[in-house]
Amino acid sequence: MAFLDPLPRETTPELAETFDHFAEILGFVPNSLLTMQRRPEIVKAFGTLTSAVMDPDGTVDPATKRLLAHFASRAAGCQYCEAHSLIAAGISGLSQDKLDALWDYRTSPLYSDAERAALEFALAAGSVPNGVDAGIMARLREHWSEDQIVEMLGAICLYGFLNRWNDSLATDLEDAPRALGQRLLGEGGWTGARHGVED
């Protein structure tokens, strides 16, 4: 059960455009933002940062950035964000086959060496203490430019904020990410229990 209840979407009319944007990305307005709206300026700033980091005209495709967010959230242990990032990755164009092969990314032919290097970077960057070392960075640089690395780290750090927010408040998962988590993430130990998912 969440430590703070989400407020109805209509509570803060000035956030309607921001909420519409997130509904377009995910198919619903996240409970995290509905809780956050107690401080509307935080929601607005988060929306601006999300638009900049997840810019579809960037140098890294949005589905990859969402997948990086998933791996960073996995390292941080935020099961709310693990499920949310995969919903967004699918909506952003990540194929169902790649989603289904998520646990085998190190060996699956569906994942390239460039993607493997990026996902290892996300796992290391999302860990506490931070696990990024010279070897991880060297492998990353074999496949990605410095501009792309900055863009990828932006996605990882964006979810770092969300990981702290949602785990601290035990934000309840919405129906779609809950169903995805139960179907796809359970084999890795995901339960969603902290986020209102019943066994």
What CATH number is given to the structural domain containing 101? 1.20.1290.10
Domain membership of residue 145 (yes or no) is yes
Biggest alpha carbon–alpha carbon distance for the chain: 49
Domain membership of residue 107 (yes or no) is yes
DSSP string, 47-79: HHHHHHHT-TTSSS-HHHHHHHHHHHHHHHT-H
Domain membership of residue 115 (yes or no) is yes
Domain membership of residue 76 (yes or no) is yes
Domain membership of residue 52 (yes or no) is no
Structure tokens at 86: 């995969």
Domain membership of residue 173 (yes or no) is yes
Domain membership of residue 8 (yes or no) is no
Total domains, the chain:
1
pLDDT at position 160: 98
Residue 109: cis peptide before it, omega within 30 degrees of 0: no
Angle at 104 between CA 186 and CA 67, to 5 degrees: 75
Cα gap 156→118, rounded to integer Å: 11
Q: Which domain holds residue 169?
A: 59-188
pLDDT at position 187: 86
Structure tokens at 50: 């999300």
Written as tens digits, the pLDDT of the chain (199 aa) is: 899 999 999 999 999 999 999 998 899 999 999 999 999 999 999 999 999 999 999 999 999 999 999 999 999 999 999 999 999 999 999 999 999 999 999 999 999 999 999 999 999 999 999 999 999 999 999 999 999 999 999 999 999 999 999 999 999 999 999 999 999 999 889 999 999 997 5
Domain membership of residue 47 (yes or no) is no
pLDDT at position 141: 98
